Structure 1
Amino acid sequence: MTGTTNGTSNGAPGGSKRPVRIAGASGGFSDRQRAISSLAKLDVDVIVGDWLSECTMTLHGAQKVDNEKLRAEGKLMEEPVGLFDPTFIENLAPALPDIARKGIKVAVNAGACDTALLASNVEAEVRRQGLDLKVAYVEGDEVTDTVNRLIKKGEKFTSLMTGEDLKDWGYTPIYSQCYLGGAGIAEALKNGADIVVCGRVADAAPAIGAGMWWHDWNRDKDFDQIAGSLICGHLVECAAYVTGGYFSGFKRLMDGCNNLGFPIAELFADGSCAINKEPDTGGEVSVGTVASQLLYEIQGPLYYGSDATANIEGIVMTQDGVDRVRVTGVKGYPPPTTTKVGMTAVGGYQAEFHVYICGLDLEAKAEWVEKQIRYSAGDAVKELSCFKFSLNGYCPDNPRNQDVATCDLRVFVQTQNKKLVDKSTLDVPGFNRWCMDNGLQGCPGWTLGNDQRQSEGKLYYEYYVSLLDQSEVQHRVVLPWLDNKSIDVRPSTDLKVYPRDQPSYETKDAVDLKQFGPTTRGPLGWVVGGRSGDKASDANVGLYVRHDDEWDWLRSLLTIDKIKYLLDEEYKGGKIERFEIPGIRAVHFLLRDHLDRGFNSTSTYDTLGKNVGEYLRAKWVDIPNKFLARGRF
């Protein structure tokens, strides 16, 4: 693939070999809306952004199915809205004059389930401002018909999480969307696009596309370089996560935490990168913050993408100045023959009820309430797929006020029977009434939550993740300014079959923990940082230390059995996989099927797996005193 910009060869203006400067403007729909406008004022070449997650894919996909049904029934009179990120135009519009004046390229996945419509809206905004910018879009991620056809042909679609086949899932997919790589984005930029709007390209794909275009990489051979861009994209895809968001050392960043800076990556021709951040903002770019983001939502030593596979075991991060970290050591392999596909199904209805209990004997009080509510539910429990009671919080010794002595008893239900959770008024039989019935029979310290809206049932969705052959994907680029010319984007000619399970191992040459001297018992997080995240029902967690001698201690301490012990009641009995990244002193664990399905259907508070790491950091271990003398996270 060849690439040009400003009419020159080799990508960079004037034919130079300088790195492409890629600014990360969004990590999700809840990110700061100032980002694109702020970054467009800086010296950057490409602005990328990620607006999608499994949550938004599911909700947008389900809404698209509903819209199509209403349209078929003649009930949908207007053009549907809400099938792409609703905030994107407001984020982009103020930046357009700078983007046009400075020749900055933009590549984003905000199109969700209606990419062509969002691209059309962007075009309209460009015209409204009187600017000359070409808007392309990438399609092919929606694969509902393809998945249904393959199901009829007997395709098993084995779950990446549980290893079970789709037929055993118990739900019928209504919408399917696969993950595209960055090659389509590169093709759009090669053909003169200024703004490339995508649907479900992978989070890192915009950075991969920018690197392919700028550096003119051969996508069938240059796997080290493309894999490096994959990791570069992963580091900036969540915006401020790499500049201090969710960082274990957050306390030292308190000054300026009101406005963390967005990241800017320099992606070099060899695939290595340097991470920086916008000036005059809070947060920091350090080996700690960058290592934390690397560890977020990875699955093992191999990071799979549709354009390349990256091996991150040998990655090295070096502090290369204030707010600048150089990232090297990524090894590239051919991409897999498959890409990830997510399937959405209607799960049923869910609701929750909250009782506040206070003071002493909290577990006994919670048991009292649970027995009474289960008695009130009677035989209706047979129609519940989930009926869960969880006591959250505790009353400290000699509490300083009543609020801190009060805990939340959450009652959560899921059912196919909508009538059981249909209304939340006090006179309707069903879930709300089961909980309300016992108010005057309650335990001491029982208090009714004053907002009953959560006890009214809401539709929820199940999400299933499997693999789809890349040969089944119709990946293409559409260029509206050339009479809607479309360009098919083929997979790489060099693909490889990888096993479902990645390499997992305990440490080599473990050391005797006694050699580290006297210890103090305390939270692991006093000296260990961590990050965790979700991939459907799998949870990953990476734990790392700051000093070389601490690395020998960490890798020897954190065995798979030790993690099971530290998880305590949170360990669900699933498989745990382990590997190490010595270059950032990190041990990584993948907790298979740990999260009670995923964001849209989970019954837990930790809907995204982000709290697994902090839970483990709060668990107590024996910590060498010499480590504590250096100061805590």
Structure 2
Amino acid sequence: MNPLRIGNFSGFYGDRSAALREMLTGGELDVLTGDYLAELTMLILARDRLKDPGAGYARTFLRQLEDCLGLVRERGVRIVTNAGGLNPAGLAARIDESARKLGIPLSVAQVTGDDLTAAHPGALAAHAYLGGFGIAECLRAGADIVVTGRVTDAALVTGPAAAHFGWGPGQYDELAGAVVAGHVLECGTQATGGNYAFFREGDVRRPGFPLAEIHADGSSVITKHPGTGGFVDVGTVTAQLLYETGGARYPGPDVTARLDSVRLRRDGPDRVRIEGVRGEAPPPTLKVGVNRLGGFRNEVVFVLTGLDIEAKAELVRGQLTDHLATSPPAEVRWELVRTDRPDAGTEETASALLRLVVRDPDQRVVGRALSGAAVELALASYPGFHVAAPPGKGDPYGTFEDAYVPQDAVDHTAVLPGGRVRPVPPPPGTRPLRAVPPPPLPEPLPPGPARRAPLGTVAGARSGDKGGNANVGVWVRTDEAWRWLAHELTVERFRELLPESRELPVTRHVLPGLRALNFVVEGILGAGVAARHRFDPQAKALGEWLRSRRLDIPEVLL
């Protein structure tokens, strides 16, 4: 049987608008997937729905699709996307309406059952992460376009693969292979050189979007359309495999994929083969993402220029601390960012930033805390006083938390073309999720001369967020470097290099098949990205900070 060619045209809500057309016209494809639903996106869509009950889906997808409906029909490519968000029925109706107006015969189906908001009082949105078999039912019934609510990102690939190859719920190895391919595709151009540690090794000014050639046994080849930008190699695929993952077991609604079984090898220019993936029964519960309104936040950034930076910061901090004491917000955070340089050639490079953030359940408190007080200091504080922008009244912020429900607690439903409804049963078997025992480490490198250098000289990294936690995947490209990294980058050394993690739980996972270590730092992101707890709220650059830190590296690796 020929492989199933599945491409991606979106990795987030706001991705390249031309990508759908580029993928449809750039080469042969069977299915195109679009991923829109990050944790923050669900909160954005929930707030949209508060203003308009008919909203709640990714409007940008509808515009992309309307421009390409004729091409979709002409090329015979099926579209599968979670752009339905909180309102898949609304999006499906709009697509159907657009196709009829244009006289383009396309059938539309949808997947529902993920919305559990009613069971979580006070939540703006609470949605279970569904698997791929609802999508498979829609495609088997002849749907040209399938829109879903909250499914796992990888389900956009496992569903079409299960439909095409006839996989059943118990074919865990095949499903796990598709999960791994789906995880590589889900973030779009991150698999083709985007956000890549070794980006200078190729032209990544406009990376092409990735595609996977999936085979009946679950193995796949990751590649891209000929002539598109970026590049695909073992490193770009490794980086994406480590993104937003934890240990060796990668759980999902349909299968738990064993990341420690993954084997990668070059299969030609811009082609990487993924094989050997093993799967196990999924866990007995489904993850539910719960988004709530956390309160209100306000901030002001004071610009401190030239001499006496620390003293200037102390002065304004003392002035505002006295003011805040009269009506104290629930949370007050100061952060001095030393962007200044001595004897700088421009005023901007001579300046540091002092950031004050306040939070409180009451918008009036955060508004009063900063708006008047910060402005009143304009002529009565440190020399050179000015702010990056005047503070406002305060904006709402969200929080994200995980909950779990039994697999059979959701009404996973495929709404087929024409409106027929088909229930999707829970998996026939489950297995509680347990950590994999640490694998044996390789023999360490023999002693020899070392030189102080950044970790990134020999190692790549990619980091990301899962709720309030962050993961940092670190990998190397040779067996010799792996022999060093596996022994050198312990949890203790990781905490030493990233002081923000010193007081937090840190877990190290070892993946020898990828020559990789994956660190999970619990709580570093507070209540999740929507809470904007830290400077880099999604931990996107945490890995690059780690790569910039210096340590003693054996000269044989340098």
| TM-score, normalised by the number of residues in structure 2 | 0.96
Q: Residue 504 of structure 2 contacts residue 523 of structure 2 at CA under 8 Å; is this kept in 1?
A: yes
1:321 paired residue number? 268
Alpha-carbon shift at residue 397 of structure 1 (Å): 3.8
Give the 3-state SS of the residue equivalent to 2:7 in structure 1: strand
CA distance in 1, matches of 2:484, 2:135: 44
Alpha-carbon shift at residue 321 of structure 1 (Å): 0.9
CA distance in 2, matches of 1:621, 1:609: 22
1:131 paired residue number? 104
CA RMSD of aligned residues (A): 1.8
Alpha-carbon shift at residue 548 of structure 1 (Å): 1.2
1:305 paired residue number? 252
Q: Which one-letter code corresponds to 1:37 in the other structure?
A: R
Alpha-carbon shift at residue 578 of structure 1 (Å): 1.3
Q: Which runs of 5+ in 2 are unaligned?
A: none
1:429-444 to 2 correspondence within 5 Å?
Answer: 429-444=368-383
1:345 paired residue number? 292
Q: Residue 246 of structure 2 contacts residue 509 of structure 2 at CA under 8 Å; is this kept in 1?
A: no
Q: Which runs of 5+ in 1 are unaligned?
A: 1-16, 68-78, 149-171, 423-428, 629-633
Alpha-carbon shift at residue 19 of structure 1 (Å): 1.0
Q: Which one-letter code corresponds to 1:212 in the other structure?
A: A
Q: Residue 421 of structure 1 contacts residue 455 of structure 1 at CA under 8 Å; is this kept in 2?
A: no
Alpha-carbon shift at residue 516 of structure 1 (Å): 5.1
CA distance in 2, matches of 1:503, 1:365: 52
Alpha-carbon shift at residue 510 of structure 1 (Å): 5.7
Q: 488, 495, 510: which is aligned to 1:564?
A: 495
1:410 paired residue number? 355
| Deviation string, structure 1 residues 4-32 (Cα, Å, up to 9, x no partner) | xxxxxxxxxxxxx1110000111001210
1:543-582 to 2 correspondence within 5 Å?
Answer: 543-568=474-499, 570-571=500-501, 573-582=503-512
Give the 3-state SS of the residue equivalent to 1:30 in structure 2: coil
Q: 420, 423, 443: which is aligned to 1:488?
A: 423
| Deviation string, structure 1 residues 369-413 (Cα, Å, up to 9, x no partner) | 2122111212322xx222111122432343232211212211111
1:398–1:359: structure 2 CA closer, same or farther, 3 Å change rule? same
Answer with 367-376 or 295-304: which moved more: 367-376
1:390–1:580: structure 2 CA closer, same or farther, 3 Å change rule? same
Q: Which one-letter code corresponds to 1:521 in the other structure?
A: R
1:245 partnered with 2:194: yes
| Deviation string, structure 1 residues 535-589 (Cα, Å, up to 9, x no partner) | 0001011001111100100111011111111111x12522211122222211111
| Deviation string, structure 1 residues 338-392 (Cα, Å, up to 9, x no partner) | 11101122211111111111223433332222122111212322xx222111122
| Deviation string, structure 1 residues 37-57 (Cα, Å, up to 9, x no partner) | 111122000001101111011
Q: 87, 90, 106: which is aligned to 2:60?
A: 87
2:441 paired residue number? 508
Alpha-carbon shift at residue 529 of structure 1 (Å): 0.5
Q: Residue 579 of structure 1 contacts residue 588 of structure 1 at CA under 8 Å; is this kept in 2?
A: yes
1:57 paired residue number? 42
Alpha-carbon shift at residue 517 of structure 1 (Å): 2.2
CA distance in 2, matches of 1:361, 1:525: 34
Give the 3-state SS of the residue equivalent to 2:91 in structure 1: helix
CA distance in 1, matches of 2:515, 2:365: 51
1:583 partnered with 2:518: no
Q: Which one-letter code corresponds to 2:511 in the other structure?
A: I
1:54–1:207: structure 2 CA closer, same or farther, 3 Å change rule? same
CA distance in 1, matches of 2:264, 2:191: 13
| Deviation string, structure 1 residues 42-73 (Cα, Å, up to 9, x no partner) | 20000011011110112222443x35xxxxxx
Q: Residue 442 of structure 2 contacts residue 483 of structure 2 at CA under 8 Å; is this kept in 1?
A: no
Alpha-carbon shift at residue 243 of structure 1 (Å): 0.4
How many residues are treated as equivalent by the alignment? 557
CA distance in 2, matches of 1:436, 1:504: 57
Alpha-carbon shift at residue 607 of structure 1 (Å): 1.3
2:127 paired residue number? 177
Give the 3-state SS of the residue equivalent to 2:253 in structure 1: coil
Alpha-carbon shift at residue 527 of structure 1 (Å): 1.4
1:43 partnered with 2:43: no
Q: Which one-letter code corresponds to 2:481 in the other structure?
A: E
1:23 paired residue number? 7
Q: Which one-letter code corresponds to 1:396 in the other structure?
A: R
Q: Residue 143 of structure 2 contacts residue 417 of structure 2 at CA under 8 Å; is this kept in 1?
A: no
Alpha-carbon shift at residue 85 of structure 1 (Å): 0.5
Give the 3-state SS of the residue equivalent to 2:265 in structure 1: strand
1:76 paired residue number? none
